[in-house]
A and B are shown apart, each in its own frame.
Chain A
Amino acid sequence: MRTRWRGLAAGFTGLVLVVSACGGAGQDDDGGGGQAGEPVPTTGFDGTTIKLGVLTPLSGTVAVIGQPLTAGNEVWFEALNAQGGVAGRYPVELVQEDTQYQPDVAVQRYNKIKGDVVAFTQVLGTAPTLAVLPQLRTDRILAAPASLDALWVREENLLPVGAPYQVQAINAMDYWFADGGGSTSDRICTMIQDDVYGEAGQQGIDFAADKYGFSVTNTQKFKVGTENYAGQIGALAGAGCQVVFLVATPSDAARIWGTAAQARFAPQWFGQSPSYTGALAQSAIAPYLQQSVLIVAEGTEWGDESVPGMKRMVADLEAHAPDEPPDYYFAFGYNQGRAMTEVLEKAVELGDLSRDGILEASRQLGTVGFDGLTGDYRYGPAAERNPPRSTTIFRVDPSKPFGLATVAYLLESEAARQYEFKKADL
């Protein structure tokens, strides 16, 4: 019995060695680059079609953001393909995967499609992006994160667009002192959600406090999904806040502003861009929002024909996805598409669509303009990148398509220009 068992084991071991001898998958050789001329087929590029990955929550609570953002990606590339594609001859195809906004799912999905795509044109969410970042580095893949975190600016493997949250917050304060009729002796407070996104807004306000010489009177933190905000609103009112900078997402923002309206607490609210959604302008709190709230975001109001980027986006939207409602996340996805296209065109110009070729292209990329949809972004080596420093202040106006009307267009403060983006220890 014992000997048979041992013999069997030896036999299996032999088999294992035979099989494993040819089973390595360590070296993932992906084509490699030709020097100029036509790019040769490589991972995610078959010679004609370029495939790009999208890691986004298509379900779950954050799907409300993932859906329009991805629609923005889609519309940009469909419009591009209608003109022939990248460099006029390489159409783009998106490979979408649902991350459910969970880091471990994002890593699995990343592994699932990384062998099929040349780069990722969208990775939504701070946590999912952080989770795939180590692998992006090892696999030398470029990805465009879909959030305005300052963390991304100095990362070689990431391709951010837009002015980071810190810049929005600084510009909001600048607006308040310069044009909003406020002064540095006002009681300025913050209400932030208890996560990375909230901290980013707080950093901006703290920086502005230092530059303009005011102090933050009171800071209230809250957990996403809290049902009752009377405590925080009471504390803000008790501290006599005249200005409150809010960093939240729409469902919490609605409850917060609703509670404030009920408590008849009406300071000047500044809402960081993700706090707002078009539905708020149609809800019961719209009158309060019109009276007390300014939204700090980018670009221009929806459908503003005087801004070329907006004109083109609305035209593309009508041509390729007429049912898509107006949404700033849509515009964000659309801008991401443009940035990624610029990188791909550069890579085609260099004749190399391999992973290294694309990273090199992103390093050699100069300033990319967004035709007024967001500020222009100077790319290049991560250490030398300069994100846009401009912000648009909106007021709530239910008669507008997205419920927002421009108050100050692409405002760019001196303080925001001075904000330094440091490489985070990620």
Chain B
Amino acid sequence: MARAVKPHRNLVLDYSQDLRLFGTPLARTGLGLMLVTLLVLPTVVQDDFWLSVLIYSGITAIGAIGLNLLTGYCGQISLGHAFFIGAGAYCAALAGGRAGLPLPLWLLVSALVGAVLGGLIGPFALRLRGHYLAIITLGLVFIGEHLWRNLREVTGGNNGTSVLAQATIGPVDLGALELAGESYSRNQGWFWLVWVLVAVIALLAKNIARTRPGRALRAVRDHDQAAEVIGVRAGRYKVGAFMVSSAIAAVAGALFGAYQQHVTPDEWTLLLSIQYIAIIIVGGLGTVFGSILGAVFVGALPALIEEYSEYIPGVADSAGGDGFISVFALNQAIFGLLIVVFLVFEPRGLAGIWFRVRAYFRTWPFSY
């Protein structure tokens, strides 16, 4: 009987289907296509500029997934993400550069340090809520900046420090990859490294989100006291979310440092934190896919605007050039406008648009 009423399309019929990692054949095909794009793209787009834009976007995507676990799933707003990113970068400088550990180890060390630092923020998360917590984490960025400027041994003070961490796994050096007689540039190798890590961390985050901890996190987000009543230890999950999120942020920071090879305290500012918040909101709160979309969008948009700035009237692209607004200013204004427009018309972000498109086709012809 149940068979007889089975619909001819993939509708979610029971809860277990909702929990599947890659629900539908369409999703699986999409995933396959994405993996192929990931592998093939650097061989097609060999341009160093676009590769570096995509590498930075990938690194940002990793950090954004971390923040989304904390903010999107667990509901704790953090403006302190830049602090953990910075900590990760300095870990890479120490573990990967000075101690000369291989890639997996310096990533691991960064993640551990990030988790410990995140754990230290735990008590604040337990005591404070909502806006108060957000502003406290804002303080973290400033205190962090003070530390980075003064802990000269580790951070090189204001000069910054070289991050000489090598992207080596055993005999393979992703900075100068050689495969089947073909040698690949540093940017190509790094593209693969970063985006494979994006995939791994996305999978990790997705698995956290769809299993018991994920449900607990969402219960805490929606109402922490109610969550306690139904047996979720809200405090433990809040601290846990901070730890996981900071660990992922530190990994992103380590990659950022190792790719850029030199970092200074001027980089881990509030603006960076705000950018991450913008990414997860533009991408879509509480979705892993949205974090990645948001990061690529926010990372690539300025590059695109810049590329075509000569066709936009009123834009000055050289010193003393005509035009009243510089490319950067235009970029910032457009970025701001996009955030506003997005949130006014699609508060669920890019992922929300995607869900809507998907729902349209899934329920067609009854898609209203």
| A/B touching: CB–CB < 8 A | yes
Which positions in A face B, CB cutoff 8 Å? 5, 8-9, 12, 15-17, 19-28, 56, 58-60, 63, 66-71, 73-74, 94, 96, 98, 100, 102-104, 107-108, 111-115, 126-127, 130-131, 133-135, 138, 151, 194-196, 198-199, 321, 323-324, 426
Kindly identify, within residues 164 to 192 of chain B, every residue whose CB is under 8 Å from any CB belonging to chain A.
176-180, 182-188
* 25 A–B pairs (Cβ distance < 8 Å), ordered by A: A5-B28, A12-B32, A15-B36, A19-B43, A21-B180, A23-B44, A23-B46, A24-B184, A25-B184, A26-B177, A26-B182, A67-B320, A70-B320, A73-B319, A74-B318, A74-B320, A103-B263, A104-B56, A104-B267, A108-B303, A115-B47, A199-B157, A199-B158, A321-B320, A324-B320
Residues of B within 8 A of A102 (CB): 266-267
**Contacts beyond the supplied A25-B184, A133-B262: 14 A-B pairs with Cβ under 8 Å:** A9-B32, A12-B32, A20-B43, A22-B43, A26-B182, A28-B185, A58-B316, A58-B327, A96-B319, A112-B48, A127-B160, A130-B264, A131-B260, A134-B162
A170 to chain B, nearest CB (A): 21
Residues of B within 8 A of A60 (CB): 328
B63 to chain A, nearest CB (A): 13
User: How many residues on the B side are at the interface (Cβ–Cβ under 8 A)?
Assistant: 54
> Given A23-B43, A60-B328, A96-B319 in contact, is the A108-B56 Cβ separation under 8 Å?
yes
> Given A26-B176, A104-B260 in contact, is the A98-B328 Cβ separation under 8 Å?
yes
A113, B52: Cα distance in complex, Å:
12
A370, B158: Cα distance in complex, Å:
32
Closest to A198 in B: B158
A341 to chain B, nearest CB (A): 18
A111 and B48 form a contact (CB under 8 A): yes
A323, B306: Cα distance in complex, Å:
26
A69, B320: Cα distance in complex, Å:
11
Contact partner, A426, options B162, B267, B303, Cβ 8 Å: B162
Contact partner, A103, options B36, B262, B318, Cβ 8 Å: B262
> Given A56-B319, A103-B267, A127-B160 in contact, is the A134-B187 Cβ separation under 8 Å?
no
> Given A103-B264, A104-B267, A127-B264 in contact, is the A67-B40 Cβ separation under 8 Å?
no
B120 within 8 Å of A (CB atoms): no
A25, B188: Cα distance in complex, Å:
8
Binary flags per residue of B289-327, CB closer than 8 Å to A gives 1, else 0: 000000000000001001000000000111110000011
B215 within 8 Å of A (CB atoms): no
Closest to A151 in B: B159
Binary flags per residue of B3-39, CB closer than 8 Å to A gives 1, else 0: 0000000000000000000000000100010011001
Contact partner, A15, options B40, B157, B183, B317, Cβ 8 Å: B40
Contact partner, B261, options A23, A24, A126, A135, Cβ 8 Å: A135
Residues of A within 8 A of B266 (CB): 102-103, 127
Residues of B within 8 A of A113 (CB): 49
A194 and B158 form a contact (CB under 8 A): yes
A296, B37: Cα distance in complex, Å:
57
A253 to chain B, nearest CB (A): 19
B260 and A103 form a contact (CB under 8 A): yes
B240 within 8 Å of A (CB atoms): no
Task: Give the secondary structure class of A's interface.
Answer: helix
A94, B321: Cα distance in complex, Å:
13
Residues of B within 8 A of A58 (CB): 316-319, 326-328
- Considering the complex of A and B, which 4 residue pairs feature the smallest CB-CB distances, nearest first? A23-B43, A26-B183, A70-B319, A112-B49
Task: Give the secondary structure class of B's interface.
Answer: helix
B42 within 8 Å of A (CB atoms): yes
A96, B321: Cα distance in complex, Å:
11
Residues of B within 8 A of A151 (CB): 159
A17, B179: Cα distance in complex, Å:
10
A196 and B52 form a contact (CB under 8 A): no
A5, B28: Cα distance in complex, Å:
9
Residues of B within 8 A of A130 (CB): 159-160, 262, 264
A45 to chain B, nearest CB (A): 19
A113, B162: Cα distance in complex, Å:
23
Residues of B within 8 A of A56 (CB): 319
B183 and A27 form a contact (CB under 8 A): yes
> Given A15-B36, A104-B260, A111-B48 in contact, is the A22-B182 Cβ separation under 8 Å?
yes
Residues of B within 8 A of A16 (CB): 36, 39-40
B183 and A107 form a contact (CB under 8 A): no
A21, B42: Cα distance in complex, Å:
12
A135, B187: Cα distance in complex, Å:
11
Residues of A within 8 A of B218 (CB): none
Kindly identify, within residues 25 to 78 of chain B, every residue whose CB is under 8 Å from any CB belonging to chain A.
28, 32, 35-36, 39-40, 42-44, 46-49, 51-53, 56
A20, B47: Cα distance in complex, Å:
15
B328 and A59 form a contact (CB under 8 A): yes
Binary flags per residue of B183-216, CB closer than 8 Å to A gives 1, else 0: 1111110000000000000000000000000000
B149 within 8 Å of A (CB atoms): yes
B312 to chain A, nearest CB (A): 14
> Given A22-B43, A24-B182, A98-B326 in contact, is the A74-B319 Cβ separation under 8 Å?
yes
Residues of A within 8 A of B188 (CB): 23-26
B186 to chain A, nearest CB (A): 8
B161 to chain A, nearest CB (A): 9
A101 to chain B, nearest CB (A): 9
B147 within 8 Å of A (CB atoms): no
A368 to chain B, nearest CB (A): 24
Residues of B within 8 A of A126 (CB): 159
